[in-house]
Structure 1
Amino acid sequence: MKKFQSKMHSLRFLSIFLALCFAFKLSFSSPGPYVMRISCGARQNVHTKPTNTLWYKDFAYTGGIPTNGTRPTFISPPLETLRYFPLSEGPENCYNIKRVPHGHYSVRIYFGLVADPSFDNEPLFDVSVEGTLIYTLQSGWSIHDDEGVFVEALVFLEDGTASLCFHSTGHGDPAILAIEILQVDDRAYYFGTGYGQGTILRTHKRLSCGAKNSQFDVDYSGDRWGGDRFWNSILTFGQGSDNSISTQKSIKQASIRPNVYPEALYKSAIVSTAEQPDLTYSVDVEPNQNYSIWLHFAEIDSSITGEGQRVLDILINGDVAFPGVDIVKMAGGINSALVLNKTVAINGRTLTITLQPTKGTSAIINAIEIFEVLVAESKTVPEEVKALQSLKDALGLPLRLGWNGDPCVPQQHPWSGTDCLYDKTSNKWVIDGLGLDNQGLRGFLPNEISHLRHLQSINLSGNSIKGPIPSALGLVTALEMLDLSYNSFNGSIPESLGQLTSLRILNLNGNSLSGRVPVALGGRLLHRASFNFTDNAGLCGIPGLRTCGPHLSVGAKVAVGFGALVALLLIATCLTCWWKRRQNILRAQRIAAREAPYAKARTHFSRDVQMARHHGQENSKNTRTAAENGPPLLT
């Protein structure tokens, strides 16, 4: 009994220990791959059957117009909306998806058709990912039940964003049904020299040989790190002498990193016959491009039981790429997966894969993947992209100009009005010219234009741009031509423009500028420079313009202004004193006028009194004189 209890205690302890280990492993295991699926044009999140896949609503990623859409084929996800981009909103439109973790991703874009008979039901346009052109839709894409209804590429995303752009080619409006951004292993589809951040793999063809139905990884119960690939079924290579076979047995060495192919992929195959032992598959490709080819094998033919019974030479466009392939030996047994990869340069327009048995009477293959190897375009210097975005906002650029995505790449679709130059020092593109004349611009010229330090020419003439000319333009030292004529610029010409020693053409005519032309600019008129300052009523200082008054320094101007203010205050004070004195005089006169009758009476009375007194004084004086002189003499 004690032994039994001791065993039970040990088992209980062991179970607890294992549970803790499992929990510890889960807590410290790597998180699952990043997944972002967008149902374009949708206002709410959508779940689709049969896998209950979550598609996020389409909000704040781009412009364009959301509307009802239709699925071109069964391959497209069962979604009811899309987003299309009319040419009136510009030739370039982009989805800018932020907060995407650094890593390696499978990016898939599904195309749609606007559910309105008045629309062209098959738009043709170009698609770029991170500034690299990856696909051009071909006429008839919407009626083929294959990969033509979407484009897929493996790309490294390094800056926390994903930029997916659609470029109009003049045939219909780009219409996007859905977008998937699915993280894969950082070394997924590693093909050797050239692999890495500067390379994009565009899926050209992916075939599940011998399979009855086309399926995604999720239908195969595949690992999420596989990127939910789509495998197009193919039952025959069209030679009339090959067969499809399948097995239900388990396949070893299949679902392992970095590519984690689904095990079910290897349970079907195409096998040649003794009458026609070679297997040949051909596909059209773009000429003068590199292609990475991945061939999948598992010996599931019941007639093969060991090594040496089937050996193949594998040729690509007639050249032996893999000699003496013994699938059983190389895979480690029957019903074991083997993957071979070869990257080749294709000069013509056809890629042909041939499997020739050197031992045995037939060839076999389970799956084929073909990727076009694209060199990722170098992007424009980020500081200059931000400067152009500031310019776009400040000048109120019309939607028809676009200005979405990267200004310089893809090189087939640069921004309207921008000239690009490849800078070998930074290995990036820079802006060396702006030509936005006569575009109806009505904003102002921001200081951020100084961040376009490689500009050699600026032409903004014939618009309605207002405000001052930014002094920061003096920092664009490479500038040779500046044409701001026939706008509404005001204020003075910045002295900083005199620092542009490479400037040969300066047109500022037809504005509302004022003040003195900077001496450094005026002095260069004698050195073969072409400067035009006419039709600015307030400008002065060079021949052809009015004469300026004495040139005062800033301190002198302040002193003159202060003196004028003091004089104005003194004049105001004197006027105030005079006005008050005048009011007092007028008041006294009014009072005197009211008292005049009484004053006149008093005046007469005083005069009578004074005269009476004077008369009395005279009589008294005469009497005294007579008394003193005696009686008058008689004659």
Structure 2
Amino acid sequence: MSTNLAWLLRLPLILAAMVVQVHGLSPPGFLSLDCGLANKSAYNDSITGLLYISDSGFVEGGLSYQISANLMDQATNEQEKTLRSFPGGQRNCYTLPSIPGKRYLLRTTFTYGNYDGLNKTEDGSLFLFGLHIGVNLWATVNLTNSGNSTNTFWKEVLTVAPDRFISVCLINFGLGTPFVSSLEMRRIGDSMYPFVNSSVSASYFSRLRFGAVDEFISRYPMDSYDRFWERFDNWSYPWVNLTSKNKAMSSPPANHCDDFSFSVPSAILQRASTIESNFSWFSITVEANSNLQSETMELIPIFHFAEVGDVNGGARRTFDLSVDDEQLLHNFTLPATSPVTKFDSSTRRRGSRARIVLRRSPGSDLPPLINALELHSRVWMINLTTASGDVDSMESIKEKYMVTRNWNGDPCSPRDYTWDGLNCIYPNGHQNPRVVELNLSASGLRGEIATSFMSMSSLEKLDLSNNNLTGTVPDYRLYSLRVLNLSNNQLIGPIPDSVLQRIVAGQLDLRFGML
């Protein structure tokens, strides 16, 4: 949507997240990154009060920019003024601290602001790049002919953390330089959005609130999880907006057989839209804009209802609800006192639009009513991450030798973005990819041979030739290893007996000395 808005393995990043919570007045589980923020300390956002910090500790590479000077006055928040651009590499990833198995909302915003002077959103050329959540495609950011370069676009995904970190990656399709203005992470409740799990994430399609609302976007602190709720504007006679005086409304409890706690804010449940009593039905059409690649989307609709009208004397509000001519609710009677959420995660709706019809049931005293709706598209998490032991080993090697290659994100997954110098195997079934070959020849490596190489139990070929490695040949008890090239280094001392025995048995090809 558009409007003029506003791989954690190391202790420093953990500490950074703790600082956010302790000093930034942000709720636990919130992390707000102002991408490209440089030469300025953290700040509290003027609209939400949430603390924003620089993204520099959470990403490698990229260049910091400000939007064009003549557009600065049009920025409606600080995050719109700066961005991080990624002209180098096919994949550049942010690493965010997380708790394994917990649910998170992740949101990226994009304000181009003609930072590069190329007018890319208005020159007619293709301008699009991809987003990955972990090792799976989340969305495509399409800014082609998107108009005013001060427009802010956003992408949002609900996901389950697979490990101690979540990776958000920008993918270069060769159709414009990827960039990002802000990256926000919000931990949500364990019972929220029950269709989200380790195999399925959910990408934002639409989230609408109804009734008379002043703000185009409602978010934190009204919504304690900082979801974006858009105001529904496409209404006219015979639509009627209602407001409840009941300030104690709460979202559905989690123990209902078909309802779950979506923690809808009370302020949203207090407002609704209906129609004049002499009419029987109304429709809502939600369409994708050009920023969404929507042809293959599988949409999950969620409807939030709360009675805000006059139901004195036992008046009933009963209605049917259908999506694209498929009935989801039949003779549904809205409770007079408690909010209700209804959703359908089993039906797969494809396409760029959804038409929702609410129709009054025969004998109903009152016409249909709606307070809010959400539409999310499934993101199938079909690519598996590299085996955690191999990831830890590769990260340790990268850090020890300060490898300057574009080693970003997951080492082996997805296949198109395997780290330079690696070959991996991708077993069938639910097995994680493994590193089988590692070539670091002529990579400027210095110091002793790291023990981390011996931790990769599937490694078959290791090439460390033509470097400046010193010390002795390690006692390699890595029985998967078939080829070990250590030639043209500064290694000294005898070759360990265990290595010699494998050479004599024809199990290991060792290349050693100066060639």
Query: Fold match, TM over 0.5?
Result: yes
Residue number in structure 2 paired with 1:82 = 82
Equivalent position SS for 2:78: coil
Structure 2 residues without counterparts, runs of 5 or longer: 1-25, 122-126, 254-260
Residue number in structure 1 paired with 2:219 = 217
Residue number in structure 2 paired with 1:417 = 421
Measure, in 2, the Cα distance between the counterparts of 1:208 and 1:73: 30
Q: 1:348 aligns with which of 326, 347, 350?
A: 350
Structure exhibiting the larger radius of gyration computed from Cα positions: 1
Q: Which amino acid aligns with 1:37?
A: S
Residue number in structure 2 paired with 1:96 = 95
Residue number in structure 1 paired with 2:153 = 149
Measure, in 2, the Cα distance between the counterparts of 1:411 and 1:77: 38
How many residues align structurally? 460
Q: Which amino acid aligns with 2:108?
A: I
How many angstroms does 1:354 deviate by?
A: 2.9
How many angstroms does 1:246 deviate by?
A: 3.0
Structural RMSD (CA): 4.3
Q: Report if aligned partners of 2:280, 2:359 keep a CA contact under 8 Å in 1.
A: no
Residue number in structure 1 paired with 2:395 = 389
Measure, in 1, the Cα distance between the counterparts of 2:240 and 2:182: 34
Residue number in structure 1 paired with 2:107 = 108
Q: 1:347/1:295 Cα in 2 relative to 1: closer, same or farther (>3 Å)?
A: closer
Measure, in 2, the Cα distance between the counterparts of 1:292 and 1:244: 27
Q: Which amino acid aligns with 2:79?
A: L
Pairs within 5 Å for 1:115-154: 116-118=115-117, 121=120, 124-140=128-144, 143=147, 149-154=153-158
How many angstroms does 1:206 deviate by?
A: 0.5
Equivalent position SS for 2:360: strand
Pairs within 5 Å for 1:521-560: 521=506
Q: Report if aligned partners of 1:471, 1:496 keep a CA contact under 8 Å in 2.
A: no
Q: Which amino acid aligns with 2:394?
A: L
Q: 2:182 aligns with which of 164, 178, 189?
A: 178
Is 1:315 aligned to 2:319, yes or no?
no
Q: 1:432/1:443 Cα in 2 relative to 1: closer, same or farther (>3 Å)?
A: same
Measure, in 1, the Cα distance between the counterparts of 2:73 and 2:164: 33
Equivalent position SS for 1:344: coil
Residue number in structure 1 paired with 2:202 = 201
Measure, in 1, the Cα distance between the counterparts of 2:74 and 2:347: 34
Residue number in structure 1 paired with 2:372 = 367
Measure, in 2, the Cα distance between the counterparts of 1:73 and 1:321: 47
Is 1:246 aligned to 2:232, yes or no?
no
Q: Report if aligned partners of 1:430, 1:454 keep a CA contact under 8 Å in 2.
A: yes
Q: Which amino acid aligns with 1:374?
A: V
How many angstroms does 1:396 deviate by?
A: 5.2
Measure, in 2, the Cα distance between the counterparts of 1:410 and 1:394: 25
How many angstroms does 1:283 deviate by?
A: 3.4
Measure, in 2, the Cα distance between the counterparts of 1:73 and 1:417: 47
Residue number in structure 2 paired with 1:41 = 36
Is 1:261 aligned to 2:264, yes or no?
yes
Residue number in structure 2 paired with 1:451 = 455
How many angstroms does 1:275 deviate by?
A: 6.8
Measure, in 1, the Cα distance between the counterparts of 2:145 and 2:206: 14
Measure, in 1, the Cα distance between the counterparts of 2:133 and 2:321: 33
| Greater shift in the superposed pair: 474-483 or 362-371 | 474-483
Q: Which amino acid aligns with 1:62?
A: V
Q: Which amino acid aligns with 2:43?
A: V
Residue number in structure 1 paired with 2:19 = none
Q: Which amino acid aligns with 1:34?
A: G
Equivalent position SS for 2:57: coil
Measure, in 1, the Cα distance between the counterparts of 2:158 and 2:445: 41
Measure, in 2, the Cα distance between the counterparts of 1:264 and 1:73: 32
Higher relative contact order (CA 8 A, sep 6+): 2
Q: 1:119/1:490 Cα in 2 relative to 1: closer, same or farther (>3 Å)?
A: farther
Q: 1:306/1:163 Cα in 2 relative to 1: closer, same or farther (>3 Å)?
A: farther
Q: Report if aligned partners of 1:315, 1:353 keep a CA contact under 8 Å in 2.
A: yes
Measure, in 1, the Cα distance between the counterparts of 2:360 and 2:148: 33
| Greater shift in the superposed pair: 314-323 or 145-154 | 145-154
How many angstroms does 1:476 deviate by?
A: 3.9
Q: Which amino acid aligns with 1:249?
A: K
How many angstroms does 1:473 deviate by?
A: 8.5
How many angstroms does 1:309 deviate by?
A: 4.7
Q: Report if aligned partners of 2:319, 2:333 keep a CA contact under 8 Å in 1.
A: yes
Equivalent position SS for 2:398: helix
Structure 1 residues without counterparts, runs of 5 or longer: 1-30, 501-517, 538-635
Residues 196-228 of structure 1: per-residue CA shift (max 9 Å, x gap): 45543322211113445323233xx6352xx12
Q: Report if aligned partners of 2:242, 2:274 keep a CA contact under 8 Å in 1.
A: no
Residue number in structure 1 paired with 2:65 = 67
Pairs within 5 Å for 1:233-632: 233-236=231-234, 243-247=239-243, 249-250=245-246, 253-255=249-251, 258-271=261-274, 277-284=281-288, 286=294, 290-301=298-309, 309-327=316-334, 331-333=335-337, 337-346=339-348, 348-350=350-352, 351-359=354-362, 362-376=367-381, 377-393=383-399, 397-398=403-404, 401-410=405-414, 413-423=417-427, 427-434=431-438, 441-443=443-445, 446-458=450-462, 464-467=466-469, 471=473, 474-479=476-481, 496=498, 519-521=504-506
Residue number in structure 2 paired with 1:10 = none
Q: 1:370/1:532 Cα in 2 relative to 1: closer, same or farther (>3 Å)?
A: same
Q: 1:325/1:306 Cα in 2 relative to 1: closer, same or farther (>3 Å)?
A: farther
Measure, in 1, the Cα distance between the counterparts of 2:324 and 2:510: 65
Q: 1:198/1:60 Cα in 2 relative to 1: closer, same or farther (>3 Å)?
A: same
Q: Report if aligned partners of 1:212, 1:235 keep a CA contact under 8 Å in 2.
A: no
Measure, in 1, the Cα distance between the counterparts of 2:154 and 2:327: 32
| Structure with greater proportional helix content | 1
Equivalent position SS for 1:111: strand
